[in-house]
Amino acid sequence: MRYKPLPSSVYKNNRSSFSKKIDKLGLAVFNSNDIYPISADSTLPFSQHRDIFYLSGIDQEETILILFPHAENPINREILFIKKTNKLISVWEGEKLSKKKAREISGIENIKWLSEFKSTLYDLASQSDLFYFNTNEHYRAKNVTQTREDRFIKWAKNEYPAHRVGKSNPILQKLRSVKSEEEINQIKKACEITKKGIVRIINFIKPGVWEYEIEAELIHEFIKNKSRGFAYSPIIASGKNANILHYELNNHKCKSGELILLDVAAEYGNYSSDLTRTLPVSGIYNDRQKKIYNSVLNVKKLATKLLTTGTLLSDYHNEVGKIMTSELLKLGLLRKVDIQNQSSKNPAYKKYFMHGTSHHMGLDTHDYGLLNEPLKPNMVLTVEPGIYIPEEGFGIRLEDDVVVKEKGEPTNLMQNIPIEIEEIEDLMNK
Protein backbone atom coordinates (compact mmCIF):
# COMPACT_ATOMS: atom_id res chain seq x y z
CA MET A 1 0.00 0.00 0.00
CA ARG A 2 1.12 3.59 -0.63
CA TYR A 3 -0.07 5.03 2.65
CA LYS A 4 1.04 4.43 6.21
CA PRO A 5 -1.78 2.45 7.88
CA LEU A 6 -3.24 3.42 11.20
CA PRO A 7 -2.31 1.27 14.21
CA SER A 8 -4.54 -1.77 14.74
CA SER A 9 -5.65 -0.27 18.07
CA VAL A 10 -7.78 2.25 16.13
CA TYR A 11 -9.74 -0.55 14.48
CA LYS A 12 -10.00 -2.46 17.76
CA ASN A 13 -11.55 0.62 19.38
CA ASN A 14 -13.94 1.08 16.47
CA ARG A 15 -15.12 -2.53 16.70
CA SER A 16 -15.49 -2.27 20.46
CA SER A 17 -17.60 0.89 20.15
CA PHE A 18 -19.84 -0.76 17.56
CA SER A 19 -20.21 -4.01 19.50
CA LYS A 20 -21.41 -2.14 22.59
CA LYS A 21 -24.32 -0.73 20.58
CA ILE A 22 -25.88 -3.98 19.35
CA ASP A 23 -28.25 -6.38 21.13
CA LYS A 24 -26.90 -9.26 23.21
CA LEU A 25 -27.82 -11.93 20.65
CA GLY A 26 -26.89 -9.77 17.67
CA LEU A 27 -24.43 -10.87 15.00
CA ALA A 28 -23.24 -8.27 12.46
CA VAL A 29 -21.79 -9.00 9.02
CA PHE A 30 -19.88 -6.54 6.81
CA ASN A 31 -18.84 -7.09 3.22
CA SER A 32 -16.21 -5.42 1.06
CA ASN A 33 -17.13 -3.66 -2.17
CA ASP A 34 -17.26 -5.37 -5.53
CA ILE A 35 -14.76 -4.78 -8.27
CA TYR A 36 -17.05 -3.17 -10.81
CA PRO A 37 -16.86 -4.09 -14.52
CA ILE A 38 -16.56 -1.53 -17.31
CA SER A 39 -17.03 -3.80 -20.33
CA ALA A 40 -15.25 -6.76 -21.95
CA ASP A 41 -12.65 -7.78 -19.34
CA SER A 42 -12.02 -4.27 -17.95
CA THR A 43 -12.82 -3.18 -14.40
CA LEU A 44 -12.71 -0.03 -12.34
CA PRO A 45 -9.94 0.21 -9.74
CA PHE A 46 -11.00 -1.38 -6.47
CA SER A 47 -12.11 0.93 -3.68
CA GLN A 48 -12.88 -0.58 -0.30
CA HIS A 49 -16.26 -0.18 1.40
CA ARG A 50 -15.59 2.44 4.04
CA ASP A 51 -17.51 0.67 6.81
CA ILE A 52 -15.52 -2.56 6.71
CA PHE A 53 -12.35 -0.46 6.40
CA TYR A 54 -13.37 1.58 9.48
CA LEU A 55 -13.83 -1.62 11.46
CA SER A 56 -10.83 -3.61 10.21
CA GLY A 57 -8.36 -1.50 8.22
CA ILE A 58 -8.41 -4.15 5.49
CA ASP A 59 -8.15 -2.64 2.01
CA GLN A 60 -8.66 -5.82 -0.04
CA GLU A 61 -11.55 -7.12 -2.13
CA GLU A 62 -13.66 -10.17 -1.18
CA THR A 63 -13.32 -9.55 2.54
CA ILE A 64 -16.02 -10.27 5.14
CA LEU A 65 -16.12 -9.30 8.81
CA ILE A 66 -18.29 -10.90 11.50
CA LEU A 67 -18.80 -9.15 14.83
CA PHE A 68 -20.61 -11.32 17.40
CA PRO A 69 -19.73 -9.78 20.79
CA HIS A 70 -21.59 -12.40 22.86
CA ALA A 71 -20.50 -15.54 21.01
CA GLU A 72 -20.12 -18.48 23.38
CA ASN A 73 -16.48 -18.98 22.39
CA PRO A 74 -14.56 -15.67 22.74
CA ILE A 75 -12.46 -16.47 19.65
CA ASN A 76 -15.64 -16.13 17.54
CA ARG A 77 -16.52 -12.62 18.69
CA GLU A 78 -14.47 -11.11 15.86
CA ILE A 79 -13.80 -13.09 12.69
CA LEU A 80 -12.22 -11.79 9.49
CA PHE A 81 -12.49 -13.72 6.23
CA ILE A 82 -9.99 -12.95 3.47
CA LYS A 83 -9.28 -14.19 -0.03
CA LYS A 84 -6.67 -16.92 -0.26
CA THR A 85 -3.86 -16.53 -2.77
CA ASN A 86 -3.36 -19.32 -5.31
CA LYS A 87 -0.72 -19.71 -8.03
CA LEU A 88 -2.88 -18.08 -10.71
CA ILE A 89 -3.70 -15.05 -8.54
CA SER A 90 -0.07 -14.77 -7.49
CA VAL A 91 1.11 -14.62 -11.12
CA TRP A 92 -1.55 -12.27 -12.49
CA GLU A 93 -2.36 -10.01 -9.53
CA GLY A 94 0.29 -10.60 -6.90
CA GLU A 95 -0.17 -12.22 -3.54
CA LYS A 96 -3.10 -11.25 -1.36
CA LEU A 97 -2.92 -10.63 2.38
CA SER A 98 -1.62 -13.47 4.47
CA LYS A 99 -3.41 -14.35 7.69
CA LYS A 100 -0.48 -12.93 9.62
CA LYS A 101 -0.56 -9.61 7.78
CA ALA A 102 -4.35 -9.32 8.10
CA ARG A 103 -3.98 -9.97 11.83
CA GLU A 104 -1.33 -7.23 12.14
CA ILE A 105 -3.43 -4.64 10.30
CA SER A 106 -6.79 -5.37 11.90
CA GLY A 107 -5.90 -6.59 15.36
CA ILE A 108 -8.32 -9.51 14.82
CA GLU A 109 -6.97 -12.85 16.03
CA ASN A 110 -9.41 -15.16 14.25
CA ILE A 111 -8.56 -14.90 10.53
CA LYS A 112 -10.13 -17.40 8.15
CA TRP A 113 -10.16 -17.96 4.40
CA LEU A 114 -13.22 -16.69 2.55
CA SER A 115 -14.21 -20.26 1.63
CA GLU A 116 -14.96 -20.92 5.32
CA PHE A 117 -17.52 -18.12 5.68
CA LYS A 118 -20.80 -19.96 5.03
CA SER A 119 -19.99 -22.90 7.29
CA THR A 120 -18.83 -20.55 10.05
CA LEU A 121 -21.97 -18.46 9.82
CA TYR A 122 -24.07 -21.63 9.96
CA ASP A 123 -22.36 -22.69 13.19
CA LEU A 124 -22.79 -19.26 14.79
CA ALA A 125 -26.36 -18.68 13.65
CA SER A 126 -27.68 -21.10 16.26
CA GLN A 127 -26.29 -18.84 18.99
CA SER A 128 -27.95 -15.72 17.57
CA ASP A 129 -31.50 -14.74 16.70
CA LEU A 130 -30.68 -11.31 15.23
CA PHE A 131 -28.56 -10.46 12.18
CA TYR A 132 -27.32 -6.90 11.77
CA PHE A 133 -27.16 -6.00 8.08
CA ASN A 134 -25.35 -2.96 6.71
CA THR A 135 -27.56 -1.19 4.18
CA ASN A 136 -26.58 2.23 2.82
CA GLU A 137 -28.70 4.82 4.63
CA HIS A 138 -26.65 7.95 3.93
CA TYR A 139 -28.96 10.88 3.26
CA ARG A 140 -27.36 11.48 -0.16
CA ALA A 141 -27.36 7.81 -1.21
CA LYS A 142 -28.88 6.84 -4.55
CA ASN A 143 -28.65 3.08 -4.83
CA VAL A 144 -29.11 1.95 -8.42
CA THR A 145 -26.56 -0.90 -8.44
CA GLN A 146 -26.81 -4.10 -6.44
CA THR A 147 -23.76 -4.34 -4.21
CA ARG A 148 -21.94 -7.29 -2.69
CA GLU A 149 -23.61 -6.31 0.60
CA ASP A 150 -27.05 -6.35 -1.06
CA ARG A 151 -26.48 -9.82 -2.51
CA PHE A 152 -25.36 -11.16 0.87
CA ILE A 153 -28.41 -9.71 2.63
CA LYS A 154 -30.75 -11.31 0.10
CA TRP A 155 -28.98 -14.66 0.49
CA ALA A 156 -28.94 -14.52 4.31
CA LYS A 157 -32.63 -13.65 4.57
CA ASN A 158 -33.43 -16.63 2.36
CA GLU A 159 -31.14 -19.04 4.25
CA TYR A 160 -32.10 -17.85 7.75
CA PRO A 161 -35.73 -16.67 7.53
CA ALA A 162 -36.33 -17.10 11.28
CA HIS A 163 -33.68 -14.55 12.27
CA ARG A 164 -34.73 -11.03 13.16
CA VAL A 165 -33.00 -8.19 11.30
CA GLY A 166 -31.21 -5.16 12.75
CA LYS A 167 -29.47 -2.22 11.09
CA SER A 168 -25.76 -1.49 11.43
CA ASN A 169 -25.69 1.72 9.44
CA PRO A 170 -27.40 4.06 11.95
CA ILE A 171 -24.86 2.93 14.57
CA LEU A 172 -21.95 3.53 12.21
CA GLN A 173 -23.29 6.93 11.19
CA LYS A 174 -23.00 8.09 14.78
CA LEU A 175 -19.63 6.46 15.41
CA ARG A 176 -17.95 7.52 12.17
CA SER A 177 -19.12 11.13 12.44
CA VAL A 178 -16.75 11.70 15.38
CA LYS A 179 -13.11 11.20 14.42
CA SER A 180 -10.28 9.84 16.51
CA GLU A 181 -7.02 11.79 16.63
CA GLU A 182 -5.46 9.18 14.36
CA GLU A 183 -8.21 9.70 11.79
CA ILE A 184 -7.82 13.47 11.95
CA ASN A 185 -4.10 13.03 11.31
CA GLN A 186 -4.91 11.05 8.14
CA ILE A 187 -7.21 13.85 6.98
CA LYS A 188 -4.45 16.35 7.78
CA LYS A 189 -2.08 14.35 5.60
CA ALA A 190 -4.60 14.48 2.75
CA CYS A 191 -4.84 18.25 3.27
CA GLU A 192 -1.05 18.59 3.17
CA ILE A 193 -0.91 16.72 -0.13
CA THR A 194 -3.71 18.93 -1.46
CA LYS A 195 -1.67 22.00 -0.52
CA LYS A 196 1.26 20.74 -2.56
CA GLY A 197 -1.02 20.35 -5.56
CA ILE A 198 -2.45 23.86 -5.20
CA VAL A 199 0.99 25.45 -4.82
CA ARG A 200 2.08 23.60 -7.95
CA ILE A 201 -0.81 24.78 -10.13
CA ILE A 202 -0.68 28.36 -8.83
CA ASN A 203 2.62 28.57 -10.70
CA PHE A 204 1.19 26.74 -13.72
CA ILE A 205 -2.07 28.54 -14.48
CA LYS A 206 -1.95 31.15 -17.23
CA PRO A 207 -4.03 32.15 -20.28
CA GLY A 208 -4.14 29.39 -22.88
CA VAL A 209 -3.81 26.50 -20.40
CA TRP A 210 -6.50 23.83 -20.70
CA GLU A 211 -8.52 22.74 -17.69
CA TYR A 212 -7.42 19.12 -18.16
CA GLU A 213 -3.77 20.20 -18.12
CA ILE A 214 -4.35 21.58 -14.63
CA GLU A 215 -5.97 18.28 -13.69
CA ALA A 216 -2.87 16.47 -14.94
CA GLU A 217 -0.57 18.65 -12.82
CA LEU A 218 -2.65 17.96 -9.73
CA ILE A 219 -2.84 14.19 -10.16
CA HIS A 220 0.93 14.10 -10.69
CA GLU A 221 1.54 15.91 -7.42
CA PHE A 222 -1.00 13.88 -5.48
CA ILE A 223 0.28 10.47 -6.57
CA LYS A 224 3.89 11.56 -6.10
CA ASN A 225 3.02 12.18 -2.44
CA LYS A 226 1.51 8.71 -1.79
CA SER A 227 -2.10 9.58 -2.48
CA ARG A 228 -4.16 7.26 -4.67
CA GLY A 229 -5.35 10.43 -6.40
CA PHE A 230 -8.38 12.67 -6.21
CA ALA A 231 -10.73 12.21 -3.26
CA TYR A 232 -13.62 12.88 -5.67
CA SER A 233 -14.07 13.79 -9.33
CA PRO A 234 -12.15 17.06 -9.81
CA ILE A 235 -13.99 20.24 -10.79
CA ILE A 236 -11.74 22.55 -12.80
CA ALA A 237 -14.14 25.19 -14.05
CA SER A 238 -12.92 28.29 -15.88
CA GLY A 239 -15.12 31.26 -16.72
CA LYS A 240 -18.84 30.49 -17.00
CA ASN A 241 -18.22 26.80 -16.22
CA ALA A 242 -17.94 27.77 -12.54
CA ASN A 243 -21.72 28.25 -12.52
CA ILE A 244 -22.18 24.49 -13.07
CA LEU A 245 -21.84 23.17 -9.54
CA HIS A 246 -20.74 19.65 -10.55
CA TYR A 247 -18.84 20.56 -13.72
CA GLU A 248 -16.46 17.67 -14.47
CA LEU A 249 -15.72 17.92 -18.21
CA ASN A 250 -12.53 19.90 -17.59
CA ASN A 251 -12.08 20.41 -21.32
CA HIS A 252 -12.07 24.19 -21.87
CA LYS A 253 -9.18 26.55 -22.49
CA CYS A 254 -8.57 29.13 -19.76
CA LYS A 255 -8.84 32.66 -21.11
CA SER A 256 -7.24 35.92 -20.07
CA GLY A 257 -9.30 37.80 -17.48
CA GLU A 258 -11.31 34.75 -16.43
CA LEU A 259 -11.47 33.13 -13.03
CA ILE A 260 -11.01 29.39 -12.59
CA LEU A 261 -12.86 27.57 -9.81
CA LEU A 262 -10.94 24.54 -8.56
CA ASP A 263 -12.85 22.08 -6.38
CA VAL A 264 -10.08 19.52 -6.06
CA ALA A 265 -8.47 17.58 -3.24
CA ALA A 266 -6.39 14.51 -2.47
CA GLU A 267 -7.21 11.40 -0.50
CA TYR A 268 -4.77 9.63 1.79
CA GLY A 269 -5.29 6.15 3.20
CA ASN A 270 -8.97 6.27 2.14
CA TYR A 271 -9.49 9.53 4.04
CA SER A 272 -10.66 12.54 2.04
CA SER A 273 -9.83 16.19 1.98
CA ASP A 274 -12.11 18.69 0.24
CA LEU A 275 -10.93 22.08 -1.01
CA THR A 276 -12.09 24.86 -3.31
CA ARG A 277 -10.12 27.87 -4.49
CA THR A 278 -10.99 30.40 -7.20
CA LEU A 279 -7.95 31.79 -8.99
CA PRO A 280 -7.43 34.48 -11.66
CA VAL A 281 -6.21 32.98 -14.93
CA SER A 282 -4.12 36.12 -15.65
CA GLY A 283 -2.75 36.31 -12.10
CA ILE A 284 -4.76 39.40 -11.10
CA TYR A 285 -8.38 39.76 -9.97
CA ASN A 286 -10.26 42.71 -11.46
CA ASP A 287 -12.20 45.05 -9.18
CA ARG A 288 -15.54 43.30 -9.64
CA GLN A 289 -14.02 39.88 -9.04
CA LYS A 290 -12.32 41.18 -5.90
CA LYS A 291 -15.60 42.47 -4.47
CA ILE A 292 -17.38 39.17 -5.00
CA TYR A 293 -14.35 37.18 -3.78
CA ASN A 294 -14.05 39.18 -0.55
CA SER A 295 -17.77 38.75 0.12
CA VAL A 296 -17.48 34.98 -0.23
CA LEU A 297 -14.37 34.97 1.94
CA ASN A 298 -16.14 37.02 4.61
CA VAL A 299 -19.08 34.61 4.65
CA LYS A 300 -16.64 31.72 4.96
CA LYS A 301 -14.81 33.28 7.91
CA LEU A 302 -18.03 34.11 9.77
CA ALA A 303 -19.57 30.72 9.00
CA THR A 304 -16.51 28.91 10.33
CA LYS A 305 -16.93 30.59 13.72
CA LEU A 306 -20.45 29.18 13.98
CA LEU A 307 -19.34 25.53 13.79
CA THR A 308 -19.18 24.95 17.54
CA THR A 309 -20.08 22.05 19.79
CA GLY A 310 -23.84 21.79 20.32
CA THR A 311 -24.79 23.58 17.10
CA LEU A 312 -27.54 22.09 14.93
CA LEU A 313 -26.68 22.16 11.25
CA SER A 314 -30.19 23.37 10.37
CA ASP A 315 -29.72 26.42 12.61
CA TYR A 316 -26.22 26.91 11.25
CA HIS A 317 -27.36 26.95 7.62
CA ASN A 318 -30.09 29.46 8.49
CA GLU A 319 -27.54 31.77 10.09
CA VAL A 320 -25.17 31.46 7.14
CA GLY A 321 -28.09 32.33 4.88
CA LYS A 322 -28.56 35.57 6.80
CA ILE A 323 -24.86 36.41 6.47
CA MET A 324 -24.93 35.70 2.74
CA THR A 325 -28.09 37.80 2.32
CA SER A 326 -26.30 40.75 3.93
CA GLU A 327 -23.34 40.38 1.58
CA LEU A 328 -25.55 40.11 -1.51
CA LEU A 329 -27.37 43.30 -0.49
CA LYS A 330 -24.05 45.14 -0.15
CA LEU A 331 -23.02 43.91 -3.60
CA GLY A 332 -26.28 45.07 -5.13
CA LEU A 333 -27.14 41.57 -6.31
CA LEU A 334 -30.19 41.57 -4.04
CA ARG A 335 -32.56 44.45 -3.32
CA LYS A 336 -34.72 45.05 -0.24
CA VAL A 337 -37.80 44.13 -2.26
CA ASP A 338 -36.24 40.70 -2.91
CA ILE A 339 -36.01 40.16 0.84
CA GLN A 340 -39.60 41.30 1.36
CA ASN A 341 -40.83 38.83 -1.25
CA GLN A 342 -38.80 35.82 -0.10
CA SER A 343 -40.21 32.79 1.72
CA SER A 344 -38.69 30.32 4.15
CA LYS A 345 -38.74 27.67 1.43
CA ASN A 346 -37.30 30.00 -1.19
CA PRO A 347 -34.97 32.54 0.44
CA ALA A 348 -33.72 35.29 -1.87
CA TYR A 349 -30.03 34.45 -1.40
CA LYS A 350 -30.55 31.04 -3.05
CA LYS A 351 -30.56 32.76 -6.45
CA TYR A 352 -26.79 33.24 -6.08
CA PHE A 353 -25.87 30.62 -3.44
CA MET A 354 -27.92 27.48 -4.04
CA HIS A 355 -26.02 24.77 -2.14
CA GLY A 356 -25.31 24.04 1.51
CA THR A 357 -22.37 25.57 3.35
CA SER A 358 -21.06 22.54 5.19
CA HIS A 359 -21.09 18.75 5.19
CA HIS A 360 -19.36 16.07 7.26
CA MET A 361 -16.24 14.53 5.79
CA GLY A 362 -13.75 11.78 6.56
CA LEU A 363 -13.59 8.33 5.00
CA ASP A 364 -16.14 9.62 2.50
CA THR A 365 -16.04 13.11 1.05
CA HIS A 366 -19.69 13.43 2.06
CA ASP A 367 -19.19 11.45 5.23
CA TYR A 368 -21.58 10.07 7.81
CA GLY A 369 -23.18 12.56 10.17
CA LEU A 370 -26.76 12.69 11.41
CA LEU A 371 -28.21 16.05 10.39
CA ASN A 372 -30.67 16.30 13.27
CA GLU A 373 -28.07 15.87 16.01
CA PRO A 374 -25.86 18.65 17.44
CA LEU A 375 -22.21 18.93 16.47
CA LYS A 376 -19.68 17.19 18.69
CA PRO A 377 -15.95 17.68 19.27
CA ASN A 378 -13.74 16.04 16.62
CA MET A 379 -16.34 16.14 13.89
CA VAL A 380 -14.75 17.29 10.63
CA LEU A 381 -16.78 19.48 8.27
CA THR A 382 -16.28 21.59 5.19
CA VAL A 383 -17.06 25.30 5.00
CA GLU A 384 -17.82 26.22 1.38
CA PRO A 385 -19.89 29.31 0.57
CA GLY A 386 -20.11 30.57 -2.99
CA ILE A 387 -21.62 33.26 -5.16
CA TYR A 388 -22.51 32.35 -8.75
CA ILE A 389 -23.40 35.00 -11.34
CA PRO A 390 -24.15 33.39 -14.72
CA GLU A 391 -25.03 36.74 -16.27
CA GLU A 392 -21.51 37.98 -15.53
CA GLY A 393 -19.85 34.76 -16.65
CA PHE A 394 -18.16 33.68 -13.42
CA GLY A 395 -18.71 32.10 -10.02
CA ILE A 396 -16.62 32.04 -6.85
CA ARG A 397 -16.51 29.34 -4.20
CA LEU A 398 -14.02 28.97 -1.34
CA GLU A 399 -13.75 25.87 0.84
CA ASP A 400 -11.69 24.57 3.73
CA ASP A 401 -11.96 21.60 6.12
CA VAL A 402 -12.33 22.26 9.86
CA VAL A 403 -12.39 20.24 13.08
CA VAL A 404 -15.03 21.06 15.69
CA LYS A 405 -13.43 21.67 19.09
CA GLU A 406 -14.80 21.06 22.58
CA LYS A 407 -14.65 24.79 23.22
CA GLY A 408 -14.22 27.77 20.93
CA GLU A 409 -13.78 28.06 17.18
CA PRO A 410 -12.90 25.05 15.03
CA THR A 411 -9.42 24.29 13.77
CA ASN A 412 -8.89 24.92 10.06
CA LEU A 413 -6.92 22.01 8.59
CA MET A 414 -6.27 24.07 5.43
CA GLN A 415 -5.22 27.34 7.02
CA ASN A 416 -1.82 27.16 5.30
CA ILE A 417 -3.26 26.87 1.79
CA PRO A 418 -3.30 30.33 0.12
CA ILE A 419 -6.72 31.97 0.10
CA GLU A 420 -6.27 35.74 0.59
CA ILE A 421 -6.27 37.77 -2.62
CA GLU A 422 -2.93 39.43 -1.98
CA GLU A 423 -1.14 36.16 -1.27
CA ILE A 424 -2.58 34.47 -4.35
CA GLU A 425 -1.68 37.38 -6.64
CA ASP A 426 1.84 37.54 -5.21
CA LEU A 427 2.39 33.82 -5.75
CA MET A 428 0.98 33.89 -9.27
CA ASN A 429 3.13 36.83 -10.33
CA LYS A 430 6.50 35.74 -8.94
**Over the stretch 351-370, which tens digit does the pLDDT of each residue have?**
999 999 999 999 999 999 98
Give the separation between CA 243 and CA 256, rounded to whole angstroms.
18
What pLDDT is recorded for position 430? 87
| Residue 49 a catalytic site member | no
Asked whether the predicted pLDDT for residue 142 surpasses 90, the reply is no
Separation of alpha carbons 317 and 234, rounded Å:
25
Sketch the domain layout of the chain as residue ranges: 8-176, 181-428
359 a catalytic residue: yes
399 catalytically annotated: yes
Q: Tell me which of 183, 267, 327, 384 is the catalytic residue.
A: 384
> Residue 366 catalytic?
yes
Annotated catalytic residue: which of 359, 360, 367, 368? 359
Return d(Cα 284, Cα 267) in angstroms, integer: 30
CATH superfamily for domain 181-428: Creatinase/methionine aminopeptidase superfamily (3.90.230.10)
89-139 pLDDT per residue, tens: 999 989 999 999 999 999 999 999 999 999 999 999 999 999 999 999 998
* pLDDT of amino acid 143: 79
User: Is residue 123 annotated as part of the catalytic site, yes or no?
Assistant: no
Whether residue 228 lies in the annotated active site: no
Q: Catalytic residue at 287?
A: no
pLDDT over 90 at 374, yes or no:
yes
Which of the residues 2, 151, 246, 288 is marked catalytic? Answer: 246
**The one catalytic residue among 59, 78, 215, 274:** 274
- List pLDDT tens digits, range 70-96: 999 999 999 999 999 998 999 998 999
Average of per-residue pLDDT across 16-29 = 97
Model pTM score: 0.96
Going by pLDDT thresholds of 50, 70 and 90, the confidence category of residue 377 is very high
Give the model's pLDDT for residue 124: 98
Class of domain 8-176: alpha beta
424 band by pLDDT with thresholds 50, 70 and 90: very high
d(CA 18, CA 205): 47
Q: What angle do CA 98, 102, 103 make, to 5 degrees?
A: 115
Residue 144 pLDDT exceeds 90: no
Q: Which of 41, 181, 406, 422 is catalytic?
A: 41
Whether residue 425 is predicted with pLDDT greater than 90 in this model: the reply is: yes
Catalytic residue among 215, 221, 258, 399: 399
**From 183, 352, 388, 401, the catalytic residue:** 388
Q: Please state the rounded mean pLDDT for residues 157-177.
A: 97
Can 246 be counted among the known catalytic residues? yes
pLDDT score, position 97: 96
- Identify the bridge partners of residue 164 per DSSP, sorted by sequence position: 130
